[in-house]
Amino acid sequence: MADSVYSNYPPHLNPAQKEFLVRTIKDWTVQHGLMIRPASTFISKESDPQGVVATSAPVTLFPSPFPKSCFEEAQALQTVYNRLYAAITCDEQWIGDIMEDLIDVDDFISHLWKVHLAVKEEGYAQSLSLGLYRSDYMPHVPSASTPPSLKQVEFNTISSSFGGLSCLVASLHTELLNSPPGHPIAYPSHPLLDSNQPPENTSVETLSAGLAAAHTAYGASKSSPALPTCILFVVQENERNVFDQLALSRQLTKVHKVPVFRLLSSEVFDHTHIPVSNPSRPLIYRPPHADGVEFEVTTVYLRCFYTPTDYKSERDWEARTHLERSAAIKCPTVLNQLAGCKVVQQVLAEDNGPDHLAKFLAGTDPTTIARLRATFAPQHDLSSSGRGRELALNPATAANHVLKPQREGGGNNIYKEAIPEFLRSLPETEWKRWILMELIQPPAEAQNVALRPDGEVLSGHVIGELGIYGTILWDQAGGKVLHNEQGGWLMRTKAKDVNEGGVATGFSSLDSVVLY
Amino acid sequence: MADSVYSNYPPHLNPAQKEFLVRTIKDWTVQHGLMIRPASTFISKESDPQGVVATSAPVTLFPSPFPKSCFEEAQALQTVYNRLYAAITCDEQWIGDIMEDLIDVDDFISHLWKVHLAVKEEGYAQSLSLGLYRSDYMPHVPSASTPPSLKQVEFNTISSSFGGLSCLVASLHTELLNSPPGHPIAYPSHPLLDSNQPPENTSVETLSAGLAAAHTAYGASKSSPALPTCILFVVQENERNVFDQLALSRQLTKVHKVPVFRLLSSEVFDHTHIPVSNPSRPLIYRPPHADGVEFEVTTVYLRCFYTPTDYKSERDWEARTHLERSAAIKCPTVLNQLAGCKVVQQVLAEDNGPDHLAKFLAGTDPTTIARLRATFAPQHDLSSSGRGRELALNPATAANHVLKPQREGGGNNIYKEAIPEFLRSLPETEWKRWILMELIQPPAEAQNVALRPDGEVLSGHVIGELGIYGTILWDQAGGKVLHNEQGGWLMRTKAKDVNEGGVATGFSSLDSVVLY
């Protein structure tokens, strides 16, 4: 079934059709802010010394087909996944046991853990914790005769990106499907496109509502006299994906009427402080552009600090600690970030040993837990006793696997036949930094056409990855959930011979879906 | 009074304030499509061979002060101006008499007039005519003690631009004035900015509603069998100001549900035709991207053909004639375009001779006519008998004047002391191509800061020009008015030592106003 859907999709474009679609999309992206800042390899610093030009985000010309059952299952499970990761984050002991093994070999995880321990020793000033998550999936189609099943690629607990742009891609494809009004001809006719459209995509609304819920839950200023409150987006320098983030701050400002400021991670100490005299440890932000004005930060939203390169020196670790020990609600806390390590997914997926899911989702009906468990792809650590090592070192079995590092961010996976040689190039003591995961087999015939940020148009076989956004606000002390929502999604599509999926790095494209 | 408003405005920016404002505006423009395609002198074709990057439209950092009385007077007079220019266009004889003198010396006007005569001979197939106008003004402040009065700079009857972007600049400044919500600090505090904001700007709604009114008035398809109908935007190649135009087509598509297509003026004959067999002469558009599909064009909206360089060969004149003779409603017709010649403004402004205003605005109350007349700056032709020649050739009086060519488009004016020498370089027979206009004296102390499309930030003394948009749909046969509206405005601000006002050419910036 799946194969027959993909084999003649997308419809063929003659040169005039392609020219029309590409030009229309190039203009639409600018008009609607579906943009990124260009890479310096495309528009050099010399060409644009003031950094004023922008370019189209990478987008597909067509929405991609996606199995309706898988899409709906992913949406249905999101609030359960939210609860699962909140519950894991509440179980510091459990996370600590898992991290223990990694601390010796993974500097990054070790550093994060130390931040947690330091703040724990002083005592956390804020027990509320906010998660803005994205659970990424592929439809798994091992053979033409089996119906597609939903398999999780990864679960992101920090800096889950593209929610600000993914809804725009859905709008773009929806408009093309209906253009011009009454007599749609922007796309060549195709059974999958005729009277079909991408499902509603509320990514901006959902993610912003999560941040707004935290802002409200923070309550009154803890300063005396009381200060106005704000949300602080802590961001990377030279962020090319800035318009994705600004979509959330615009929604917070316009709809929720919440002040939002952006602060470079390198300038945390320049513009924020925690008054020594105030035991509540409010985080005070002083906007550099307004002398003498102070805001109290209710919520720190991290769009940085998720990758080792975000910590250039000890000062950056101190900045992270400074935010962590403040009374601001963190999105995420260090513990919640650690809960997103691949090793956690791998431990959850283990099919022998304790039933972690049942424990963390106590009170959830077993059928739902089983459905969630069914989204796990088989995955293994590389301990000397386990099956993982055997599967990874044998070229025949390695061919069906991907080797993933613990941390977020993309760009570091090792695929298939490259795995044995890669592992042998590392000391065995470092192997535990990696997780071996059985490759998900997405529809083999899927194709699409993509407009790249440099204006090139590429077409060919592709692999699509669906992300579902969810937000949860909970109390670490006791685990009470104050807000738990799912809403909005991301389709990312990459050329099949490209193994990585980080859109901002230019390998893959933002897409949307038509369900079948 | 005016001087005291301008003398301490805008508020001073320290480096951190300036950095914040510039960065915020650079991002805002991208997020909201307040963009243009970059000039090739900024981003070369080699850097961006596919033409995918875009850059911020030139915008001021602050809204400019503008006298409230002048702003309101300009709005109040717009529907009267609409009627005036519709009435002029209905009086072919009157226009012909004025053009007669110019036909020998002005190739462009001569060509336009010939198009009209050719179509007239065959008989016009469409008696409805649509105007999308912009009347441009300055506040005239000859001395500090006189209250500002409203003076018209020019009246645009073809390709009146920037309505799609000017409302965005008003939104930008409004957001900055209110940012962050509840505790505005984006701008330094200033009496003119505190609890003040730009007036509502409905330029997109107004201009699109005009086009939609024409589309509806066209009525049913004149083809057999009936075809679906559409509006056709006929545009220039390599249009850098494309997002201005797309704002109107988006509104037409989304709100009015009218199909809109864009067609290069050079491709009119490739994709449109008038069936010889159909005496109604419907204009049929065949989208190149949809084989076998045909639309009937209800309304031709010209964003080209307003300047001689738009007619590269006889074929372009034939294309204009082809559109003119079709049954599509033209925005504008050739006659309506000719009514926008500077000589018409000059004849209307003549203070001896027949009272043209009273004739064209018959039935309008004399006070309103007097108010409209009060917006005229003194202007003269350069005929041997008139005062104009004397004023232009004397350096002392020339210093208070500008010399304008008949046609639209900007970029061709001669200013002040340069006038006598310029005229003497031309054969006297060509002098009638020019109109001498007394310089309007805008507030001398006005200043602002502008972000240029290449990212440079300039500040200094400026001259601002307010444009008011209006639309009118009327029947040439009898002059009955079917739709007459004003709405939306444009503030353009140029550096004071730059004498020209075409924003797209990079000399001036899009602005908004705070009224005082």
pLDDT digits (tens, 9 = 90+) for A277-291: 999 999 999 999 999
CA-to-CA distance for A415 and A439, rounded, in angstroms? 9
pLDDT recorded at residue B500: 47
CATH of the domain at A410: 3.30.1490.50
Total structural domains in chain A? 2
Nearest one of A468, A391, A376, A399 to A434, comparing CA atoms: A391
CA-to-CA distance for B242 and A479, rounded, in angstroms? 53
CA-to-CA distance for B320 and B269, rounded, in angstroms? 10
Which of B48, B257, B455 faces A181 most closely, judged by CB atoms? B257
Residue B386: pLDDT band by 50, 70, 90 thresholds?
confident
Inter-residue contact A371 to A79 (CB < 8 Å) = no
| Residue numbers in B near A451 (CB within 8 A) | 52
Same domain? For A346 and A484 the reply is yes
| Residue numbers in A near B184 (CB within 8 A) | none
Predicted confidence (pLDDT) per residue in B236-259, tens digit: 999 999 999 999 999 999 999 999
HSE, side-chain direction, 13 A CA sphere, residue A48? 26
Q: How far is CA B136 from CA B34, B81, B148, B430, B464, in A?
A: 21, 11, 16, 27, 10
Q: How far is CA A77 from CA A134, A443, B485, in A?
A: 12, 22, 53
Token pair, residue A398, equals 């390695």
Which of B228, B246, B287 faces A27 most closely, judged by CB atoms? B246
Same domain? For A98 and A178 the reply is yes
Same domain? For A405 and A479 the reply is no
CATH of the domain at B459: 3.30.470.20
Q: Could you tell me the residue range of the domain that residue A66 belongs to?
A: 2-377+440-515
CA-to-CA distance for A28 and A172, rounded, in angstroms? 7
Q: Of the candidates A439, A458, A490, which is a domain's last residue? A: A439
Average pLDDT of span A443-449: 94
Same domain? For A111 and A250 the reply is yes
Residue A478 reports pLDDT greater than 70: yes
Average pLDDT of span A263-277: 98
Contact B33 A31 (CB under 8 A): yes
| Domain-embedded: residue B162 | yes
Give catalytic status of residue B171 as yes or no. no
Nearest one of B148, B416, B247, B57 to A32, comparing CA atoms: B247
More confident residue, A508 or B301: B301
Contact A47 B47 (CB under 8 A): yes
pLDDT recorded at residue A2: 55
pLDDT recorded at residue A227: 98
More confident residue, A39 or B506: A39
Q: What is the 3-state secondary structure (H, E, C) of B314-346?
A: HHHHHHHHHHHHCCCEEECCHHHHHHCCHHHHH
Out of A73, A154, A205, A296, which one is annotated catalytic? Answer: A154
Residue in this structure with the two tokens 């304030």, named with its chain if needed: B17
Contact A54 B179 (CB under 8 A): no
| Residue numbers in A near B35 (CB within 8 A) | 30-31, 54
Residue B435 reports pLDDT greater than 60: yes
Average pLDDT of span A443-456: 95
| Residue numbers in A near B455 (CB within 8 A) | 48-52
Using the Cβ of A190 and the Cβ atoms of chain B, whether some distance falls under 8 Å is answered with: no
The neighbouring-strand residues paired with A443 are: none
Average pLDDT of span B65-86: 98
Predicted confidence (pLDDT) per residue in A132-161, tens digit: 999 999 999 988 788 999 999 999 999 999
pLDDT recorded at residue B506: 41
Judged on CB neighbours under 10 Å (0-12, 13-18, 19+), A396 is: exposed
Q: In chain A, whose CA is at the least distance from the CA of B293?
A: A185
Same domain? For A409 and A423 the reply is yes
| Domain-embedded: residue B241 | no
| Domain-embedded: residue B135 | yes
Mean pLDDT of chain B: 94
Contact A20 B288 (CB under 8 A): yes
Give catalytic status of residue B340 as yes or no. no
Which of B49, B181, B242 faces A253 most closely, judged by CB atoms? B181
Predicted confidence (pLDDT) per residue in A376-403, tens digit: 999 999 988 788 999 999 999 999 999 9
Average pLDDT of span B296-306: 98
Token pair, residue B249, equals 């087509």
Judged on CB neighbours under 10 Å (0-12, 13-18, 19+), B251 is: buried
Contact B259 A50 (CB under 8 A): no
Residue A288 C-alpha, separation from nearest chain B C-alpha, in angstroms: 6
Q: In chain A, whose CA is at the least distance from the CA of B456?
A: A50
Nearest one of B184, B140, B158 to B400, comparing CA atoms: B140
Contact A181 B32 (CB under 8 A): no
Check the annotation: does B161 bind a ligand: yes
| Residue numbers in B near A24 (CB within 8 A) | none
Predicted confidence (pLDDT) per residue in B5-41, tens digit: 998 999 999 999 999 999 999 999 999 999 999 999 9
pLDDT recorded at residue B2: 55
Residue B144: pLDDT band by 50, 70, 90 thresholds?
confident
Residue B10 C-alpha, separation from nearest chain A C-alpha, in angstroms: 16
pLDDT recorded at residue A406: 72
Residue B1 reports pLDDT greater than 80: no
Mean pLDDT of chain A: 94
Beta strand ranges found along A141-247 (DSSP E): 149-156, 229-235
Same domain? For A371 and A390 the reply is no
CA A256, A262, A268: angle at the middle one, nearest 5?
Answer: 130
More confident residue, A508 or B336: B336
Contact A250 B179 (CB under 8 A): no
pLDDT recorded at residue A502: 38
Residue ranges of A 384-443 with Cβ closer than 8 A to chain B = none
pLDDT recorded at residue A506: 41
CA-to-CA distance for B339 and B99, rounded, in angstroms? 10
Same domain? For A307 and A350 the reply is yes
Residue A479 reports pLDDT greater than 70: yes
pLDDT recorded at residue A411: 64
Average pLDDT of span B353-375: 96
Residue A248 reports pLDDT greater than 50: yes
Residue B406 reports pLDDT greater than 80: no
| Domain-embedded: residue B26 | yes
A160 phi-psi bin (left φ>0, alpha ψ -120 to 50, beta other): beta
Inter-residue contact B54 to B26 (CB < 8 Å) = no
Same domain? For A351 and A406 the reply is no
CA-to-CA distance for A95 and B503, rounded, in angstroms? 60
Give catalytic status of residue A409 as yes or no. yes
pLDDT recorded at residue A407: 63
Give catalytic status of residue B151 as yes or no. no
Which of A183, A242, A456 faces B50 most closely, judged by CB atoms? A456
Average pLDDT of span A408-426: 85
CA-to-CA distance for A414 and A420, rounded, in angstroms? 10
Contact B185 A293 (CB under 8 A): yes
Residue ranges of A 248-307 with Cβ closer than 8 A to chain B = 250, 253, 257-261, 287-290, 293, 295
